[in-house]
Copies of this chain bind each other. A is one copy, B any other.
């Protein structure tokens, strides 16, 4: 597709979680429709999408029908089976493109890509066997963290190695999956940049946000982040370099560690990102609309921040706080998930703390 989508056109979205839900809402603002493809029944995005297909990623007929019914395809999570993407790409453009997915689906590929751009990452080594792990620990030292190369998110598929005698247990926790040992980085705090690149190659980044995690899950993002002007510029330039190198179209999340020696790239996510939810109440155009604009072939929107914001995730039992939160000067964003589970992202809140500084 080369022409921008116009009123009534449909964007196909792989995945029907809260990110797909908020992408559907953003598409509606631009007069566009969405069609959600999701294996699970009653996905959160289904409440606001024009159409939902409930089928697995191994259902070739459903995938082909889905592709035929939409004008362009995007996704709300990066762990989509390659076979499904191959099938869709026979008839429809996928944005962001396959290189971005291939790079971010595998931690080893990602780290190699980032270092190839001259960016800094944690020290790392591929680990498939106990011998690999011994060699990696000898090289990188400990503490270190062993992670599966693929399919990890929200701290899942990770094991810390505080001393060499924990190596065997950590390797066992990978259950045979190809893995990566990462050295610890001595950082003061984590920030992330939500960047966007249009089909025309234009790049626009939101102000970096400062992230605090709890139990391996994002807890809060605060803008502005504690960064010097030089660090802020660096953060945005890093995101732009990654976007351009991947010939990227859409929104990307780039997590960065702030260290005395500079910014270190933790990981990239080729999609709208939890740490960008503050943009919904801090900017004229939020990350979801920015992604839709890019995917639809539209010009990027105004990424200027008008307010200082604190975003806080509502996880599992936090839903019990909603009646009280509804009484405060807070924007609630609930995902419509009926079942509350420990560790499940149920919603988030944005609190404006003042005009942008």
Contact = CB atoms under 8 A, between A and B. Distances in A.
Given A50-B47, A329-B284, A336 B31 contact: yes
Interface in A37-55: 46-50
Contacts of A223: none
A329 B350 CA distance: 23
A302 B330 contact: yes
Interface stretch (A20-28, A124-132, A172-180): A20-28
A347 B6 CA distance: 13
Given A281-B284, A285-B331, A306 B352 contact: yes
Question: What's the number of copies of this chain in the assembled complex?
Answer: 2
A335 interface: yes
A333 B4 contact: no
A355 interface: yes
A324 to B, nearest CB: 10
B29 A47 contact: no
A345 to B, nearest CB: 13
Chain A contact-residue range equals 35 or more
B48 A332 contact: no
A344 to B, nearest CB: 12
Contact of A21 (B4, B28, B326, B329): B28
A230 interface: no
A98 interface: no
A327 B327 CA distance: 37
A48 to B, nearest CB: 5
B331 A284 contact: yes
B336 A28 contact: yes
Contacts of A31: 334-337, 347
A334 B7 contact: yes
A28 B30 contact: no
Contacts of A335: 31
Contacts of A284: 281, 329-331, 350, 352
A184 interface: no
Contacts of A328: 302
10 contacts: A7-B319, A8-B338, A25-B25, A28-B47, A30-B334, A32-B336, A33-B336, A48-B48, A306-B352, A355-B355
**Ranked 9 nearest A-B pairs via Cβ:** A31-B334, A302-B329, A31-B336, A48-B48, A28-B48, A299-B327, A47-B50, A8-B338, A355-B355
